Structure 1
């Protein structure tokens, strides 16, 4: 795997460092694969391209490999099967960040500063994502902030210790009432109850709804509680017809809000990142939309550039005072 580092200096304040991964192919492989806009009638296309009905190689849509052919500054890391790698890093190593992604390229719970991400696997976050996609709502696996497993895990009344990077059990399981006997139990971190406040409310809600349904009441209304992979509050809450951005403790973040009709586009990444940077004593210079997302177009000293949903540059600088058309 060959890496090319591209440095883009924006004024004197913001620095972007983009890692571009390029598949290395030997000469014999290159000779039988067709590139962009080349004929694929008697051969196959290079990774990230697909052969269209006219036998011409065109960029695949929304695949990890397809980014290698785009003009987006950031190129994701792809696994050998062409799916998204679990850990995706953006920015520069000193203050850049790494995020957890599922195989389809959607960001999921878990992040770390790049300089601290050496042991980051996102294994727990991916497992939770898989279970939820299978329809399980009462997932109680606890992930650390970086998407790895916490050492103590409990589920279905049993508790056990695991390897943080893989989730593999390291000792026998005990009933939850006896979790204090496990070597990974930490009273100061866990206390007397495994479930955290948010997920306790979430699990209780599911149990009440289940009981009501078994008694014939199918449409009970109980306020939803959204929790993250570490048991803390997720990024948003609903109050009537308004969506509010939340911090991990359940408190609203400033005045970031949006109508319920826009809930599918809300991620509150910018609102939450403003807190994260503040806690790290770092300057946060990007602008947020009123719904807590990043504004797609940002500026530095009057020069515009586009950013992705995580706030990282996707384009080079435009002309001074120019208005760019950035992807939401």
Structure 2
């Protein structure tokens, strides 16, 4: 939750009578509740906000896309729609924590002082929208001195562009895509197999990448789980995996990632293949049930020895114990290591790696050699690269009876950068998703996967270089 801001007492005067009514039902030190009011606002904002009734309280669904910010209205207790300064506009700061303090900043300065026009109608939005205008730059932009000696919004570094920045660049691209390669420089025509590989990321309220991202062209894409800066973590689903695809939220995968980032050496949460929580979870000897779709717990907490009494227990899925083969082996080694360290003995190292669903990770080491394995520890390929995703997907397609031809790198088990589909070729990422224009085979040399990748990352000027000098007949129709 965003940190609440101090508000000058004069701006609070209108609400004093209401506030004093909940302060023990009487005046305090003759100040009509001001001291208590001030104390709650500074030291117990969660309790303070329980007494605030949000007027015109906005929610993400009621705000124009990308404008909802929590904790900015009515003493920092209510949500609001906020528009931020864009590239080249005058500014006083940045909402992006990478380039400023965001709304976690100076306690002595009221958040409301950073917003002008409470309830003001923005010229670019419908007149029925209650939108606040901020003097701070949007996510992905930093406020710094320009050549005119004024502070204006500039994009972040090429390697440091946030989710909101990429999202905004994608929207700008759709509004004014590259000219039609047939030669009409005024054309705003969107060419499917040239432009459709770009996708808009889903951003969290604080401007980072949401847990679940669905990437790639329509009917060709894949949903994956990512960390807050967009790096791939455990969990994915294709659209033909309906049960996994339609309910996917990646809540479990993100939580496991967070715990490992916090320094935990062993995490016993169980995630499904799509990154959702499995219904039954056990930690530190206690077990409980959780709804995979809502990620909310229900029912009692019971000792692991009594897990069969939980309403979510399924003997067919779980068997007789919670830990699976890979994690049982890993946790046994971790326990032995702790015992040896307590006796001053250096424990042996372990190269075993498990996924958050308790199965074996794709890459396992046999001495110095990395090899690809399936989730049951059956050898697939060697040598291995970073993930072996292509080899695993290829096996999954065969098991499901799906006729898909994919090109895997011989020396890694990952997807080759150039993939073939019939008489066409295209650039692919680590998940096999198309990340560039789709052209006929004879024009493969015109493709630049690096430029296409930069285009997707929000550098719009690189989009035309993804297939430089390509004309309309290069693309599939």
TM-score interval w.r.t. the shorter chain? 0.7 to 0.9
Distance in 2 between residues matched to 1:95 and 1:312, nearest whole Å: 7
Residue in structure 2 matched with residue 77 of structure 1 by the alignment: 202
- Whether contact under 8 Å (2:235, 2:273) holds in the other structure is yes
Matches within 5 A, 1:121-270: 121-218=249-346, 220-253=347-380, 255-258=381-384, 266-270=386-390
C-alpha displacement of 1:302: 5.9
Matches within 5 A, 1:13-52: 23=65, 33-35=85-87, 38=88, 40=90, 45-51=137-143
Q: Check 1:51–1:299 CA distance in 2 against 1; reply closer, same or farther (3 A cut).
A: farther
Length-normalised TM-score, structure 2: 0.56
Distance in 2 between residues matched to 1:239 and 1:66, nearest whole Å: 42
Distance in 2 between residues matched to 1:278 and 1:33, nearest whole Å: 51
Unaligned runs of 5+ in 2: 1-63, 68-81, 93-134, 147-151, 174-196, 454-477
Q: Check 1:188–1:299 CA distance in 2 against 1; reply closer, same or farther (3 A cut).
A: closer
Distance in 1 between residues matched to 2:301 and 2:231, nearest whole Å: 33
Distance in 1 between residues matched to 2:327 and 2:348, nearest whole Å: 18
Matched residue of 1:322: which SS? Answer: helix
Q: Check 1:53–1:213 CA distance in 2 against 1; reply closer, same or farther (3 A cut).
A: farther
Distance in 1 between residues matched to 2:231 and 2:444, nearest whole Å: 33
Q: Check 1:24–1:222 CA distance in 2 against 1; reply closer, same or farther (3 A cut).
A: closer
Length-normalised TM-score, structure 1: 0.79
User: Does residue 1:279 correspond to 2:399, yes or no?
Assistant: yes
C-alpha displacement of 1:92: 5.5
Matched residue of 2:298: which SS? Answer: coil
User: Does residue 1:67 correspond to 2:166, yes or no?
Assistant: yes
Residue in structure 1 matched with residue 235 of structure 2 by the alignment: 110
Distance in 2 between residues matched to 1:94 and 1:56, nearest whole Å: 37
Q: Check 1:227–1:75 CA distance in 2 against 1; reply closer, same or farther (3 A cut).
A: same
Distance in 2 between residues matched to 1:194 and 1:163, nearest whole Å: 17
Alignment counterpart, residue 445 of structure 2, candidates 297, 322, 327: 322
- Whether contact under 8 Å (2:222, 2:433) holds in the other structure is no
Residue in structure 2 matched with residue 18 of structure 1 by the alignment: none
C-alpha displacement of 1:40: 4.5
Question: What is the aligned-residue RMSD (CA, Å)?
Answer: 2.9
User: Does residue 1:98 correspond to 2:223, yes or no?
Assistant: yes
Report the structure, 1 or 2, having the larger strand content: 1
Distance in 2 between residues matched to 1:181 and 1:210, nearest whole Å: 32
C-alpha displacement of 1:66: 3.2
C-alpha displacement of 1:237: 0.2
Unaligned runs of 5+ in 1: 1-21
- Whether contact under 8 Å (1:40, 1:57) holds in the other structure is no
Alignment counterpart, residue 89 of structure 1, candidates 214, 219, 234: 214
- Whether contact under 8 Å (1:120, 1:148) holds in the other structure is yes
User: Does residue 1:58 correspond to 2:181, yes or no?
Assistant: no
Distance in 2 between residues matched to 1:56 and 1:130, nearest whole Å: 31
C-alpha displacement of 1:236: 0.8
